[in-house]
Each structure stands twice: as structure tokens, then as C-alpha cells.
Amino acid sequence: MNNTYTDLVKQTFEFPQEGFDVKDNYLEFNGLDIKALIDKYGTPFKLTYLPKIGMQINKAKKMFHDAIKKNRYDGKYYYCYCTKSSHFSFIMEETLKHGVHIETSFAYDIDIVNKLYEKKKISKETFVLCNGFKTKAYTRAIARLINSGFKNVIPVLDNKEELEDYKRNIRIKDKVKLGIRVAAEEEPSFDFYTSRLGVPPRDILEYYVDKIKGNEKFELKMLHFFMNKGIKDDIFYWSQFNRVINLYCQLKKICPELDSINIGGGFPIKHSLGFDYDYNYIVNEIVANIKSTCKKNKVPVPDIYTEFGSFTVGESGAVIYSVVGEKMQNDRESWYMIDSSFITTLPDTWGIGEKFLMLPINKWDQEYQEVHLGGLTCDGYDFYTSEEHINAVFLPKQQPSGEPLYIGFFHTGAYQDQLSGYGGIKHCLIPSPKHVIVGYDKNGQLKDWLYAKEQTSQSMLKILGY
Ligand SMILES: Cc1ncc(COP(=O)(O)O)c(C=O)c1O
């Protein structure tokens, strides 16, 4: 047969490739035998492959260190993990094993920081960058953290009023470090021009002179910016980036304490086997551009901070489903029904039309066909019908008997649990699937374990008051 799924993939992409290979017609993900996990746990299940997290962190650190060396850049690089992409303790602890710092978004993140300190996973030297529009509960939690002796907490001011809360609540003798987030201009295709997050760039110099300069309690250390669409090699990104670096240089001339630039998150991850992004080139451009702008302005270069979320955890995650039925709704459209829901397990596919890397786990030697994938909820939008590289979904044909078709959505480790709410009530009461973790044991051997069972009817009925 030369119309097999294997033929299709090999004609379209370089395959096998990093993280994906096929042995005896079964897919392997980072060397993991997914079929063995299906046999052990049953579908549907979420999978976290912990070793990938360290690989990503070390990859970014190496790229920045190489670029710093190559450009003879006289500043340091700090990798911060953006907690909101996945707050789970096993994820946070894995990132911290690789020497990261932390970026927070809400008051409850500060409780996580305290827990991690109690468990000796971080120290009072760890950088804690506090982002977001802050409620009183958040500013007070930040103040308490600083009062308790954390030395490198940097509240990143989202607006001009935020500082007043810290003035009232912080009671330490040493100076408190501050950042300011620069409100970014969005792409022309977006729904508005300027991000709601941060302080408009034209107000920043004046605000610094009026409210921070000469203050005995506070010093401005960091300028922060984050583009909603991420770090892209296009004219729009680089023009925004250069505006912020120029602003940094202007500010540096009147604010000698300023010594850090934070470029946020936004590294893309692989959502298709055709993914092509030159991380090394981008990192080198970032470092080289900062250096040349600082040189033109005759100011020292800043330390560089990033807050990668998707890049840190995205590629560690997967969701595995079975195809439990096939429906032919007209003479062309064949639906494969999965044993869960896209809306509830991968909400980005429904909310923002996100694509993930989707591959069958078995039947690579079977003929393929174009199909639509349908979820179990009765919602008309619970479907997945196109991929990143093509406006269609192709999967192996089902056989009337024998093993069902299993499919995997890969690189789903960021945001999906946080957006759908882990546990809790779900659309049409479709339960949260089991969650399997693969990591190393104390002897350095890979092992898998069940972090959470499939959500039960009782747990939902209790929330619903039955
Ligand atoms: C301030 C800030 N930093 C970092 C991130 C992480 O972005 P990503 O997951 O694209 O790396 C976000 C995402 O919304 C953010 O708002």
C-alpha cells in the first residue's frame, strides 16, 4: 500500500524529527511508547513529560549565553518562568530544578511563592517579578513578601496609581526595586491600538521624574514590555522592540539605577511538523540590537530578563484520545468522534482557533482519509477540522473491527488546564481526563505515575449542590 499515513507524513515533512518517531507503526513521543501508556491507563488522558521542561530552559539559557558571548555583551541573562502557563507544583518544581526565577500574575501566585520557599525550592534571593493589573490583595501580598525579607521581588508597575499601595504597605529599610511595564502597540490587525497593560510610553519619563526619582524607598530597576503576538521576526516586532530599547536609553540617562530590560514571554512552540523558527537567530538579534542601541546612546547595556510560559511547558504536554465512533453526515464529510471534548480539554482550539500538533498513535500503515474531529459535548463548536499547515485533518482509516484509532494532540502543556479549570464543572459534564506524569525517579530512571484520576460524577454533583 503506498497511500498510507506514513507515506503522507514523509511526503509532507522531514520525519522522524525531534520528539516524534514511529516504531512498528506506533508513535513515540520523546522516546515514550504512547501505546503502552494507553494500555496501562486507558484514554482519554493528559500527559506531562517532565524532562522536556529542563531541555527547553537549558536551550534558551544556552542561546542567550552564546549570543552574549558572541556580541561581547556586558550584561547577564535571567530566565524567569511565567507561572500562569501552568501553576502545578510538579511543573513549578521541575522548572526550579533548572535554576529559573519566577514571574507572577495574581495575588494567589504569592501564596505559591511562599509554599515553594517553605519547601526550600527557592530562596529569598530568587527573583520574583510581579506583573499584572494589581488588586489590593495582590499589592498587599507583594508587600508582605518584601517585608518578609525576599530581596529580589520586583513589582512591575502596570499603572501610575499602583506605587501608592507599596508606599503604604512596605516597611523595610533597604530600597525596593521597581519595574515599569511599557504599554505595547498592538499589530494593526488587532481590535485596538495600545495594550491595556502597562503605562503608555509617552508618560514614563515624566512619571519617573515626578514619582520615583529621589525617592528614599524605591528605585527603578527594570523596564518591561510584552507583545501580545509574541516574538516574531517581522518589522512590527522589531520596530516596537527598538522603541522600547530607545526608551530604556533615554531613561537610563536620568535614572542610573535602571539596569534591566524584560522582554516578557512569547517564544513560539512547535504546533506542526512543518514548524520552522530560528530561535538562535532571534536571540542573537535581540542581544545585538540592544547592544547597538545602547552604544549609540552611550549608555551601559542592561541585564536581560525573559518570562517564557509556552516555551517552558508547552512542549511537555499532550492529550490522548480514542476515536469512539465514525459518522458520515453527507457524501463527503466523515466525522471521527473522540472520547472527550475539545472545548473542555483544549479550550484554545475553541476560543482562539489555536492549532496543536496532532498525530495518530497507531495505524500508520493504514490508508488515510480527510476527516472532521468531533467532541462529545452537544456544542456545535466542539470540533477540530484544520491544522496549522493545512486547512484539513487527515487521519488513518478506521477498520470495522480491531484496535480503535488513538490520536494525540501534542505540545498542549501551557494554559489549557488553567483556561478550562482543572476539575470543576465542565460543559455537558464531560469529566476532566486522567493526568499521567512521566519523570525521573531518584535513581535517574524514567517512570510514569497517575497524578489525577478521571473526574467523577460525585465531584461534579457536589459542586452543583446535589
Ligand atoms: C507579562 C507576560 N509575561 C509572559 C507571558 C508568557 O507568554 P508566553 O506563554 O507566550 O511565553 C505572558 C503571557 O500572557 C505575559 O502576559
**Could you read off the pLDDT of 417-433 as tens digits, one per residue?**
999 998 899 999 999 99
- Mean pLDDT score, 224-238: 93
* pLDDT exceeds cutoff 90 at 2: no
Phi, psi for residue 410 in degrees, rounded to 5: -110, 160
CA–CA separation, 9 and 147 (whole Å)? 57
| Preceding amide of 268 cis, omega within 30 | no
Q: What is the pLDDT of residues 325-367, one digit of tens each?
A: 999 999 999 999 999 999 999 999 999 999 999 999 999 999 9
- Buried/exposed 206-241: b ≥16 CB within 10 Å, e otherwise: ebbeebbeeeebbbbbbbbbbbeeebeeeeebeebb
The residue whose CB lies within 8 Å of the most ligand 1 atoms, and thus the one to mutate among 84, 154, 227, is 84
Q: What is the structure's pLDDT at 210?
A: 96
Read off the CATH number of the domain in which 375 is found.
2.40.37.10
Ligand 1 center to 80 CA (angstroms)? 11
Both 344 and 294 in a single domain? no
What range does the domain containing 398 cover?
5-50+315-463
Task: Give the closest residue (by CA) to ligand 1 atom 10.
Answer: 266
Residue 210 falls inside a structural domain: yes
CA–CA separation, 431 and 415 (whole Å)? 18
Residue 56 falls inside a structural domain: no
Ligand 1 site residues (CB inside 6 A) read 82, 85, 103, 131, 226, 230, 264-267, 307-311, 414
Q: CB burial class (10 A; 0-12, 13-18, 19+) of residue 365?
A: middle
Among 260, 285, 308, the domain boundary falls at: 308
Residue 63 falls inside a structural domain: no
Residue 362 falls inside a structural domain: yes
Residues 325 and 398 sit within 8 Å (Cβ to Cβ): no
CA–CA separation, 371 and 149 (whole Å)? 58
Residue matched to cell numbers 519595574: 179
According to DSSP H, which parts of 198-323 are helical? 201-207, 235-254, 279-296, 310-313
Among 289, 308, 327, the domain boundary falls at: 308
Both 118 and 222 in a single domain? yes
Residues 395 and 372 sit within 8 Å (Cβ to Cβ): no
- Mean pLDDT score, 166-188: 93
Phi, psi for residue 354 in degrees, rounded to 5: -65, 145
β-pair type (383-384, 368-374): antiparallel
Closest ligand 1 atom number to CA of residue 311? 11
Among 258, 279, 308, the domain boundary falls at: 308
- What percent of the chain has a predicted confidence (pLDDT) above 70? 100
Among the residue ranges 339-348, 365-374, 392-401, the one predicted with the least confidence is 392-401
State the pTM of this model: 0.96
What's the number of domains the chain is made of? 2
Q: What is the structure's pLDDT at 25?
A: 97
Q: What is the pLDDT of residues 256-288, one digit of tens each?
A: 999 999 999 999 999 999 999 999 999 999 999
Q: What is the pLDDT of residues 114-166, one digit of tens each?
A: 999 999 999 999 999 999 999 999 999 999 999 999 999 999 999 999 999 99
* Residue 229 banded pLDDT, cuts 50, 70, 90: confident
| Residues forming a β-bridge with 369 | 395
Residue 282 three-state SS: helix
- Looking at every residue in the chain, the average pLDDT score rounds to 96
Residues 101 and 127 sit within 8 Å (Cβ to Cβ): yes
* pLDDT exceeds cutoff 90 at 224: yes
Angle ∠(82,88,93) on CA atoms, nearest 5: 75
Task: Give the closest residue (by CA) to ligand 1 atom 5.
Answer: 265
Ligand 1 center to 294 CA (angstroms)? 25
Ligand 1 center to 307 CA (angstroms)? 6
Task: Give the closest residue (by CA) to ligand 1 atom 16.
Answer: 226
CA–CA separation, 123 and 117 (whole Å)? 6
Residue 413 falls inside a structural domain: yes
Ligand 1 center to 106 CA (angstroms)? 13
Both 144 and 17 in a single domain? no
Both 295 and 442 in a single domain? no
Ligand 1 center to 135 CA (angstroms)? 19
Alpha carbon 357 to chain centroid, angstroms: 15
CA–CA separation, 259 and 154 (whole Å)? 13
Both 212 and 236 in a single domain? yes
The residue whose CB lies within 8 Å of the most ligand 1 atoms, and thus the one to mutate among 224, 307, 312, 354, is 307
Closest ligand 1 atom number to CA of residue 156? 1
Both 273 and 344 in a single domain? no
- Beta-carbon contacts of residue 36 (< 8 Å; ≥ 6 apart): none
Both 162 and 247 in a single domain? yes
* Residue 191 banded pLDDT, cuts 50, 70, 90: confident
Both 291 and 143 in a single domain? yes
Task: Give the closest residue (by CA) to ligand 1 atom 4.
Answer: 265
Both 161 and 253 in a single domain? yes
- Beta-carbon contacts of residue 279 (< 8 Å; ≥ 6 apart): 59, 60, 63, 267
Q: What is the pLDDT of residues 77-112, one digit of tens each?
A: 999 999 999 999 999 999 999 999 999 999 999 999
Ligand 1 center to 239 CA (angstroms)? 19
Ligand 1 center to 40 CA (angstroms)? 35
Closest ligand 1 atom number to CA of residue 181? 1
Q: What is the structure's pLDDT at 186?
A: 81
Read off the CATH number of the domain in which 240 is found.
3.20.20.10
Both 303 and 321 in a single domain? no
* Residue 1 banded pLDDT, cuts 50, 70, 90: low
* pLDDT exceeds cutoff 60 at 297: yes
According to DSSP H, which parts of 102-216 are helical? 107-118, 136-147, 162-169, 201-207
Ligand 1 center to 35 CA (angstroms)? 34
Ligand 1 center to 200 CA (angstroms)? 19
Residue 417 falls inside a structural domain: yes
Both 83 and 28 in a single domain? no
Phi, psi for residue 346 in degrees, rounded to 5: -130, 70
Both 145 and 79 in a single domain? yes
The one-character DSSP state at 182 is B
Residue 343 falls inside a structural domain: yes
Residue 57 falls inside a structural domain: no
Q: What is the structure's pLDDT at 7?
A: 96
